[in-house]
Amino acid sequence: MAVLLNQTSNLRLRIELLRRISDGTTRPASLEMRVGVDRYLHQPGGKHAFAPMLEVPRATLLDMDLIQFLQALEELLDGRAQTAALEASVDPAIGLRLQGGPEAFLVEVGIDLLNVLEQVGGMAGERSADLALYRFAVNKRAALAFCAGLIEEFAAFPTDPSAVKPGEPA
């Protein structure tokens, strides 16, 4: 699980890649992910934990979307770019943008509530009609840890290039 903690460590974004949906042989390579925003909760008895505020249990993410985000994030962390953004092109339920630098970044997380509200209220809605936006600051160390976590998660779901058949000669 890749975790991005805010500056004061009381809010976090977590992205967990769950399984490979497609290896790219017949459809674009894609993954199923779970995304959540949690807040720090001090419980009686001295227990400390994060409690979920909002979770999207399943969303589709193309490998190319993740690769492009990781490349942009690397450029942002190196000071060669101003922004790194991730929005799934297949299922745009999640949007993530980091901007700023070099030592601190503004994070914006947008979550389409369509999937969440349908499950809770049973009412149909339109995509992007109801959004939740979380905005918080992170330091470079947290952004680097998040990037490393995403790379580690992604490495657990390789595609097998030997299964891809070459096309017909031109």
Regarding pTM above 0.95, the answer is no
> What's the confidence (pLDDT) of residue 79?
94
> What's the confidence (pLDDT) of residue 44?
81
> Is the Cβ–Cβ distance between 88 and 115 less than 8 Å?
no
Successive 10-residue mean pLDDT values, the chain, 170 residues: 94 96 87 94 84 92 94 96 89 89 95 73 68 95 97 89 56
Q: How far is residue 34's CA from residue 40's CA, in Å, rounded to a whole number? A: 19
Q: Which of 94, 108, 104 is nearest to 65 (CA)?
A: 94
Q: How far is residue 15's CA from residue 73's CA, in Å, rounded to a whole number? A: 15
> What's the confidence (pLDDT) of residue 162?
66
CA dihedral over 86, 88, 89, 93, signed as positive or negative: negative
